[in-house]
C-alpha cells in the first residue's frame, strides 16, 4: 500500500474516533467549570464576578478578591484551564480559593459544576448542536483529504482536522484534573494554533493567482506576527499563572488577542476579491461569507461578550452555519480543486438500491407474517408482482423528487439541449445555425466562454466566440487537441496545457463519417465542473451540429450544380462561387 494511502486511512480513522468521542461527551454531560467569572485587577489578584444567569454559590460574594499566590496550585490550574484557556475541568471537584476580605485571608472551598442546560429538552438540543460541528468538520476534512488536489485543499485538511483535534482536547481536559488537565489544555491550544495556520494556507491557496511574490511575503509575515502575538499570552500566561501565581500576561483581553490572527486570511480574501477574475470571484464570495461567519463565532466565543450561558447557543449556531457554508462551497462551487462529481447517475443508482432493499424487506415481512407454507402458488406469485408494481410507481416518484430537488437546473438544461440537437438539422442557414448553437450552449452550461472552429485546408478558423474567455483566431491542424480529436472522436479535457485552445475546459469534435469538420471549445465555469452525463450530452449536440453543417454544405453545392446545369450561372461564375464555398471561413 502506498504511504499516502496509509496516512489517509489513519487520518480517516482519527476523524471517526474524534467524532464518536465528541458525540459521547456531548450527550454524557460530564464537562464542568468553576461557577463564577473572574477579572484581573493586578498580576496577583482576581476579582470574582457572577456569570450571566447564575448566582454565586455558598460563601462567595461578587467582588471577592482571589489571592493567586496564596491559592493552592490545583486552584490556579483550574482557573487557568477554565477562565484563561476556554477548556473544561471535571465536575464535582473541590478547590480552595484564597480570598482577601476585611477580616484577612480566608480559604473558601468551591466545587466545579456541570456546564449543561438544566432543561432536558434544551440540553438535548445543545448536545445535537455540539455534535453537528465535528460532523461537518469531519466531512470537510475527509473530502479535502481524499479528493483534494491543490494547496488550498491541503490547507483545508490541516484546518479541519486540527480544529477537530482541538475540540477533542477541550473535552479531554474535562476528564483530567491537575497537571494532566492543564497539559491537555495546552496541547489543545497548540492544535487551535495549527488550525489558524491551515485556515491561512487554505485562503492563500485559493487566491494564489492574484498574489505576487512580494505581496505573498507581506501577508505571511503579518499572519505569523499576529499568530505569535496571540499565542504568547495564552500559552506563557497560563504557565506563569500556575507556576508563580502571576497573571500579568493575561491582563489584556487574551481571548481577542488569541483570535486576532484569523483576521489576516479574512483581509486577504477581501483584498483578493476585487482583483480576481470572473472565474474565481464567485468562489471567493462564498468563502468570504462562510469565513466571516466562522471568524465571528470564534471572536464571540473567545471574548465572552455574550456571557457563558448564551454564548454557547449563539456561537454553536454561527459555527454550524459557517461549516454548512464551507461544505456547500466545496461541493457546489469547488473552492478547492477536488476530483469529485456528484452526478445524476450515481444518485439514481442509490435510489434504485433503496427501492430494491425496500422490496426485499417487504417481501420478507409478508412471507413470514401472511403467506406461510400453505399458500397457493398464485398467491405466492401475485404478492411479489403487486409489490413490484407499487414500488415501481414509488421509484418513479422518488426519481421525480430527486430531479426537482437536486438536479432541476441540469434537467432543464439537458431537455433544452436535447431538443436543440433534434431541431438543428432543420435550420436552413449556416449563420443562423452557428448563432443558435452558441446561444444554446452558453445559456445552458453557464461557461465563461466558448468558441466554434471550422476546419479548412489552411487550419481551424474561429467562426464564433462568446463570453469573457478569449480564444485564438487560427489553430494549426496539427495542434495536439485537434490531432487527438481526429484519432479518438471523443471530448478532450484541456488540462495538459499543450494546446493553443486553452488550459481549462473541454473541446468537442464535429466528426461526421470519419472527417473532422470542426470543433467547439467550452471554457470552465466558476461554480462547478462538467459532470460525465453533461459532457456526453454536449458531445451528442456538437455531433448533430456538425452533421447539420455538412448537410448545409451539401445543399449549397447541390444548388450550385443545378444553377450551372440550367444555365443560370456561367462556368466562370460557378468556379468563383465554388471557391467561396471552400474558402477559409471569416474569423470573428
Split at pLDDT 50, 70, 90, the class of 522 is very high
CA distances to 328, 423, 456, 519 from 541, rounded to whole Å, are 30, 10, 22, 12
| Four-CA torsion 177, 183, 188, 194, nearest 10 degrees | 180
* Four-point Cα dihedral 83, 87, 92, 93, nearest 10: -70
pLDDT at 581 over 60: no
566: how many CB neighbours lie within 10 A of its CB?
A: 8
- Shared-domain flag, residues 518 and 543: yes
Q: How confident is the model at residue 380 (pLDDT cuts 50, 70, 90)?
A: low
Asked if 263 and 370 sit in the same domain, the reply is: no
Q: Per the domain annotation, does 519 fall within a domain?
A: yes
Do 381 and 451 share a domain, yes or no? no
Confidence of residue 435 (pLDDT cuts 50, 70, 90): very high
In this structure, the answer to whether residues 167 and 296 fall within a common structural domain is: yes
% of the chain residues with pLDDT over 70: 76
pLDDT given at position 1: 47
Among 310, 333, 356, the domain boundary falls at: 333
Phi, psi angle pair for 567, to nearest 5°: 85, 10
Any idea what the CATH number is for the domain that residue 528 is in?
3.30.450.40
Mark which of 378, 406, 434 sits at the end of a domain: 406
Instruction: Express each pLDDT in 258-296 by its tens digit.
Output: 889 999 999 999 999 888 776 677 778 888 999 999 999
Q: What is the mean pLDDT of the chain?
A: 81
Rounded to whole angstroms, the Cα distance separating 461 from 438 reads 16
Q: Is the pLDDT of residue 76 over 60?
A: yes
CB 541 within 8 Å of CB 421: yes
- In this structure, the answer to whether residues 175 and 216 fall within a common structural domain is yes
In a domain, 36, yes or no: no
Q: Which residue has the higher pLDDT, 579 or 202?
A: 202
* Residue 322 belongs to some domain of the structure: yes
- pLDDT of 82 reads 86
Q: What's the pLDDT at 68? A: 92
Q: How far apart are CA 298 and CA 292, in angstroms?
A: 10
Q: Which three cell numbers stand for residue 324?
A: 454548512
Clarify whether residues 394 and 442 are in a common domain. no
- The DSSP symbol for 567 reads T
**What is the pLDDT at residue 577?**
55
Residues 168 and 271 in one domain: yes
Query: Is pLDDT larger for residue 379 or for residue 426?
Result: 426
Q: What is the mean pLDDT of residues 229-240?
A: 88
Give the domain range for residue 387.
344-406
Rounded Cα gap, residues 71 and 68, in angstroms: 5
Residue 407, pLDDT > 80, answer no
Count, residues in the chain: 588
H-helix or E-strand spanning residue 571:
helix 571-582
DSSP string, 185-249: HHHHHHHHHHHHHHHHHHHHHHTGGG--HHHHHHHHHHHHHHHHHHHHHHHHHHHHHHHHS--GG
Is residue 49 included in any domain, yes or no? no
> Final residue of a domain: which of 333, 366, 382?
333
For 364-375, b/e burial (b = at least 16 CB within 10 A) is eeeeeeeeeeee
| 174 and 297 housed in the same domain | yes
Assigned domain for 420 exists = no
Structurally, how many domains does the chain consist of?
3
Mean predicted confidence (pLDDT) in 546-566: 76
- Considering the domain architecture, whether residues 301 and 163 belong to the same structural domain is answered as yes
Question: For residue range 448-497, what is the model confidence (pLDDT) as tens digits?
Answer: 889 999 988 788 999 999 988 889 999 998 999 999 998 888 889 887 76
pLDDT given for residue 343 in this prediction: 53
| 573 has a pLDDT exceeding 60 | no
Flag whether pLDDT at 331 surpasses 90: no
42 assigned to some structural domain:
no
Q: Is the pLDDT of residue 346 over 50?
A: yes
Statement to judge: residues 319 and 182 lie in one domain: yes
Is 554 among the domain residues?
yes
Residue 559: inside a domain: yes
Flag the least confident range among 77-86, 353-362, 514-523, 532-541.
353-362
Same domain for 365 and 436? no
Integer Cα distance of 11 and 256 in angstroms: 31
Q: Which of 29-33, 328-332, 352-356 comes out lowest in average pLDDT?
A: 352-356
Residues contacting residue 575 through CB under 8 Å, at least 6 positions apart = none
Higher-pLDDT residue of 142, 403: 142
> Comparing 308 with 413, which gets the higher pLDDT?
413
Say if residue 392 is in the same domain as residue 500.
Answer: no
Amino acid at each position: 500500500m502506498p504511504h499516502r494511502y496509509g496516512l489517509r486511512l489513519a487520518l480517516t480513522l482519527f476523524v471517526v474516533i474524534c467524532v464518536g468521542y465528541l458525540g459521547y461527551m456531548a450527550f454524557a454531560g460530564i464537562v464542568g467549570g468553576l461557577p463564577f467569572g473572574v477579572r484581573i485587577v493586578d498580576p496577583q489578584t482576581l476579582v470574582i464576578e457572577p456569570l450571566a444567569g447564575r448566582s454565586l454559590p455558598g460563601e462567595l460574594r461578587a467582588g471577592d478578591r482571589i489571592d493567586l499566590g496564596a491559592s493552592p496550585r490545583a486552584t490556579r490550574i483550574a482557573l487557568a484551564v477554565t477562565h484563561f484557556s476556554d477548556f473544561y475541568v471535571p465536575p464535582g471537584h473541590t478547590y480552595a480559593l484564597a480570598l482577601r476580605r476585611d477580616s484577612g485571608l480566608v480559604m473558601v472551598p468551591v466545587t466545579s459544576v456541570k456546564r449543561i442546560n438544566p432543561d432536558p429538552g434544551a440540553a438535548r438540543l445543545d448536545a445535537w448542536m455540539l455534535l453537528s460541528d465535528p460532523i461537518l468538520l469531519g466531512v470537510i476534512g475527509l473530502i479535502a483529504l481524499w479528493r483534494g488536489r491543490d494547496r488550498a485543499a491541503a490547507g483545508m485538511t490541516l484546518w479541519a482536522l486540527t480544529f477537530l483535534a482541538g475540540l477533542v482536547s477541550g473535552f479531554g481536559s474535562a476528564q483530567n484534573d491537575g497537571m494532566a488537565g492543564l497539559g491537555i489544555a495546552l496541547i489543545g491550544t497548540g492544535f487551535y494554533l495549527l488550525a489558524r495556520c491551515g485556515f491561512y494556507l487554505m485562503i492563500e491557496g485559493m487566491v494564489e493567482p492574484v498574489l505576487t511574490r512580494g505581496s505573498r511575503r507581506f501577508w505571511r509575515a503579518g499572519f505569523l506576527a499576529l499568530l505569535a502575538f496571540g499565542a504568547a499570552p495564552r500559552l506563557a500566561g497560563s504557565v506563569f499563572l500556575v507556576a508563580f501565581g502571576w497573571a500579568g500576561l493575561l491582563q489584556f483581553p487574551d481571548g481577542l488577542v488569541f483570535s486576532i490572527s484569523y483576521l489576516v486570511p479574512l483581509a486577504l480574501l477581501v483584498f483578493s476579491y476585487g482583483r480576481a477574475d470572473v472565474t474565481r470571484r464567485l468562489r471567493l464570495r462564498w468563502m468570504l461569507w462562510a469565513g466571516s461567519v466562522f471568524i465571528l463565532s470564534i471572536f464571540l466565543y473567545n471574548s465572552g461578550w455574550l456571557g457563558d450561558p448564551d454564548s454557547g447557543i449563539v456561537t454553536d449556531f454561527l459555527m454550524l452555519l459557517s461549516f454548512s457554508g464551507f461544505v456547500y462551497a466545496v461541493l457546489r462551487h469547488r473552492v478547492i480543486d477536488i476530483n469529485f462529481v456528484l452526478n445524476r447517475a450515481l444518485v439514481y443508482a442509490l435510489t434504485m438500491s433503496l427501492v430494491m432493499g425496500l422490496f426485499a424487506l417487504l417481501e420478507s415481512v409478508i412471507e413470514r407474517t401472511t403467506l406461510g407454507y400453505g399458500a397457493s402458488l398464485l398467491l405466492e406469485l401475485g404478492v411479489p408482482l403487486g409489490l413490484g408494481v407499487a414500488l415501481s410507481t414509488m421509484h418513479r416518484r422518488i426519481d421525480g423528487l430527486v430531479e426537482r430537488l437536486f438536479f432541476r437546473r441540469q434537467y432543464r438544461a439537458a431537455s433544452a439541449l436535447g431538443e436543440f440537437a433534434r431541431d438543428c438539422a432543420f435550420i436552413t442557414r449556416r449563420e443562423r445555425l452557428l448563432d443558435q448553437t452558441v446561444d444554446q450552449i452558453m445559456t445552458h452550461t453557464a461557461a465563461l466562454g466558448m468558441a466554434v472552429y471550422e476546419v479548412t485546408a489552411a487550419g481551424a478558423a474561429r467562426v464564433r466566440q462568446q463570453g469573457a474567455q478569449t480564444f485564438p483566431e487560427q489553430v494549426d491542424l496539427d495542434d495536439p487537441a485537434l490531432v487527438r480529436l481526429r484519432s479518438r472522436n471523443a471530448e478532450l479535457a484541456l488540462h495538459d496545457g499543450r494546446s493553443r485552445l486553452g488550459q481549462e475546459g473541454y473541446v468537442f469534435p464535429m466528426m461526421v463519417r470519419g472527417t473532422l469538420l470542426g470543433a467547439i471549445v467550452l471554457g470552465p465555469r466558476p461554480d462547478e465542473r462538467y459532470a460525465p452525463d453533461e459532457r456526453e450530452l454536449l458531445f451528442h449536440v456538437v455531433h448533430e451540429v456538425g452533421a447539420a453543417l455538412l448537410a448545409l454544405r451539401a445543399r449549397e453545392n447541390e444548388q450550385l450544380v443545378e444553377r450551372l446545369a440550367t444555365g443560370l450561372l456561367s462556368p466562370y461564375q460557378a468556379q468563383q462561387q465554388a471557391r467561396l464555398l471552400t474558402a477559409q471561413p471569416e474569423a470573428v
